[in-house]
């Protein structure tokens, strides 16, 4: 048994003659924080959508924990422990932070549609929900209406609701997008913290985040795998630097320094 928790083999997605993902072989090691990076239009999001079965591949295979999940439905993959944040956790803005996490826990219990259950039944989930909020430093926000929270804190809540689903492999799609420096730092630290005992695969544009917390990086360009390795290896790879022409190449080098 390999110690890769997730593998893709020649993973390919074509849209009407355009190849968005081209024979990608991705190997994500158990316990790693693994980043998928690449210039705009490289196929990162399409790749993510294939992994969570929001799109069906044209060719190739996806293997999770040694099992072929290429044809599995999204719900089955989620039950197996592959959870994509920001997909399940379009958080409910008019509920409190605690209520949002409780809904994530209900999903895990399989009582999603029992919203009419007595409050008392749901109160049993409060202890676990508060523990999850503690994990993402949101205990003091438990009774806050989600819509009233700062942007970076909402992202932390999304991570908490993802954790409620007990992910073995957590997929984060641009977790720091649109954030100011302080929020980026907070969410980066949070990702590092919740990665204990889990594997994380993330698409991320911010190179200082990638260089700071990722064990391994895969670089896509025009849908194909350009390079894979540590940040030091990838950021000094001439092909990668060429792919990130101009300002992005400087950012790549700068984050390494």
Q: How much is the CA Rg of the chain, to the nearest whole Å?
A: 19
Q: Are residues 246 and 176 in the same domain?
A: yes
User: Per-residue pLDDT tens for 159-196?
Assistant: 999 898 889 999 999 999 888 898 999 999 999 999 99
Q: Are residues 104 and 218 in the same domain?
A: no
**H helix or E strand, kind and range, residue 123:** helix 119-123
End position of a domain, from candidates 135, 164, 193: 164
Is the pLDDT at 34 greater than 90? The verdict is: yes
Domain count of the fold of the chain: 2
Q: Are residues 75 and 4 in the same domain?
A: yes
For residue 85, what pLDDT band results from cuts at 50, 70 and 90? confident
Q: Are residues 49 and 112 in the same domain?
A: no
For residue 227, what pLDDT band results from cuts at 50, 70 and 90? very high
pLDDT at 122: 67
Q: Are residues 157 and 142 in the same domain?
A: yes
Is the pLDDT at 114 greater than 60? The verdict is: no
SS (H, E, C) 188-240: HHHHHHHCCCCEEEEECCCHHHHHHHCCEEEEEECCEEEEEECHHHHHCCHHH
Is the pLDDT at 75 greater than 90? The verdict is: no
The pTM of this model reads 0.88
Return the number of other C-beta atoms located less than 10 Å from residue 16's C-beta.
4
pLDDT at 129: 93
For residue 256, what pLDDT band results from cuts at 50, 70 and 90? low
Q: Are residues 153 and 81 in the same domain?
A: no
**CATH code for the domain of 214:** 3.40.50.300
Q: Which domain holds residue 43?
A: 1-88+167-257
Q: What does the buried/exposed string (b/e) look like for 224-245 if buried means 16 or more CB atoms within 10 Å of the residue's CB?
A: bbbbbeebeebbebeebbebbe
Is the pLDDT at 243 greater than 50? The verdict is: yes
pLDDT at 105: 86
Least confident of 76-90, 104-118, 172-186: 104-118
Q: Please, is 59 exposed, middle or buried when counting C-beta atoms within 10 Å of its C-beta (0-12, 13-18, 19+)?
A: middle
Q: Are residues 26 and 109 in the same domain?
A: no
End position of a domain, from candidates 164, 197, 229: 164
Give the bridge partners for 62, in sequence order: 8
Q: Are residues 126 and 215 in the same domain?
A: no
Q: Are residues 55 and 110 in the same domain?
A: no
Is the pLDDT at 4 greater than 60? The verdict is: yes
Q: Are residues 179 and 68 in the same domain?
A: yes
Give phi and psi for 173, each to the nearest 5. Answer: -100, 105
pLDDT at 123: 73
End position of a domain, from candidates 133, 164, 195: 164
Q: Are residues 201 and 225 in the same domain?
A: yes
pLDDT at 257: 52
More confident residue, 88 or 12: 12
Determine what percent of the chain is predicted with pLDDT higher than 70: 86
More confident residue, 89 or 137: 137
pLDDT at 17: 86
Tokens for 30? 């158990």
């Amino acid at each position: 048994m390999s110690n890769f928790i997730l593998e893709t083999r020649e993973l390919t997605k074509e849209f009407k003659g355009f190849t968005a993902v081209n024979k990608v072989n991705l190997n994500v090691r158990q316990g790693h924080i693994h980043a998928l990076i690449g210039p705009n239009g490289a196929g990162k999001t399409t790749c993510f959508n294939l992994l969570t079965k929001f799109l069906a591949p044209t060719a190739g295979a996806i293997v999770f924990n040694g099992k072929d999940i290429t044809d599995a439905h999204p719900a089955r993959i989620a039950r197996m422990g592959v959870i994509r944040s920001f997909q399940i956790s379009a958080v409910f803005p008019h509920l409190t932070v605690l209520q949002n996490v409780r809904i994530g826990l209900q999903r895990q219990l399989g009582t999603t549609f029992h919203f009419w259950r007595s409050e008392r039944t749901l109160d049993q989930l409060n202890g676990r929900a508060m523990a999850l909020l503690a994990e993402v430093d949101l205990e003091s926000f438990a009774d806050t209406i989600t819509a009233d929270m700062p942007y970076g804190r909402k992202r932390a809540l999304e991570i908490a609701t993802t954790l409620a689903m007990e992910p073995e492999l957590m997929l984060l799609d641009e977790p720091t997008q649109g954030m100011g420096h302080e929020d980026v730092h907070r969410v980066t630290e949070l990702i590092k913290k919740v990665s204990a005992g889990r594997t994380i695969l993330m698409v991320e544009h911010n190179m200082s985040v990638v260089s700071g917390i990722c064990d391994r990086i895969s670089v896509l360009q025009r849908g194909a795998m350009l390079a894979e390795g540590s940040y030091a290896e990838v950021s000094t790879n001439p092909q990668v630097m060429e792919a990130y022409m101009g300002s992005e190449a400087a950012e790549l080098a700068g984050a390494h320094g």
